[in-house]
Amino acid sequence: METMFMKGNEAVAEGALQAGCRLYFGYPITPSTEIIEYMAKHLPARGGTFVQSESEVAAIYMVFGAAGSGERVMTASSGLGISLMQEGLSYMAANELPAVLVNIMRTGPGLGGLGPMQGDYFQATKGGGHGDYSLLVLAPASVQEMADLTMTAFDLADEYRNPVLILADAALGQMMEPVTFGAREPKRYDKPWATTGAKGRKRNLVTSYNLQNEVGEQKSIYLEEKYRFIQERLQWAETYQTEDAEYVLVAYGTSARIAKGVVNALRENGVKAGLVRPITLWPFPSKVFTPLNERVKGYLVVEMSAGQMIEDVRLSTEGKVPVAFYRRQGGIVPQHDEILEEFAHAFSVGGILA
Q: Binding residues for another protein, per CB under 8 A?
A: 3, 5, 30-31, 113-115, 170-171, 174-178, 254, 257-258, 260-261, 264, 333, 335-337
Smaller CB distance to another protein: residue 67 or 146? 146
Q: How far is the CB of 262 from another protein (least distance, A)?
A: 9
Smaller CB distance to another protein: residue 306 or 332? 332
Smaller CB distance to another protein: residue 113 or 270? 113
Calculated CA dihedral for residues 292, 345, 306, 120, nearest 10 degrees: -40
User: For residue 105, which phi and psi values (nearest 5 degrees)?
Assistant: -70, 130
Q: How far is the CB of 110 from another protein (least distance, A)?
A: 17
Q: How far is the CB of 176 from another protein (least distance, A)?
A: 4
Q: How far is the CB of 288 from another protein (least distance, A)?
A: 20
Smaller CB distance to another protein: residue 112 or 186? 112
Tell me what percent of the chain is helix, strand and coil, each rounded to the nearest 5: 40, 20, 40
* 3 state DSSP class of 176: strand
Q: How far is the CB of 67 from another protein (least distance, A)?
A: 32
CB atoms within 10 A of CB 160: 18
Q: How far is the CB of 49 from another protein (least distance, A)?
A: 27
Q: How far is the CB of 30 from another protein (least distance, A)?
A: 7
| Cα gap 346→351, rounded to integer Å | 14
| Cα gap 153→210, rounded to integer Å | 30
Smaller CB distance to another protein: residue 33 or 103? 33
Q: Are 97 and 157 in contact (CB under 8 A)?
A: no
Smaller CB distance to another protein: residue 162 or 254? 254
* 3 state DSSP class of 82: helix
Q: Are 262 and 340 in contact (CB under 8 A)?
A: yes
For the residues of 206-252, what is the DSSP string, one character each?
-------HHHHHHHHHHHHHHHHHHHHH---EEEES-TT-SEEEE--
Smaller CB distance to another protein: residue 231 or 264? 264
Strands (E), 41-196: 49-52, 73-77, 99-105, 136-138, 163-169, 176-181
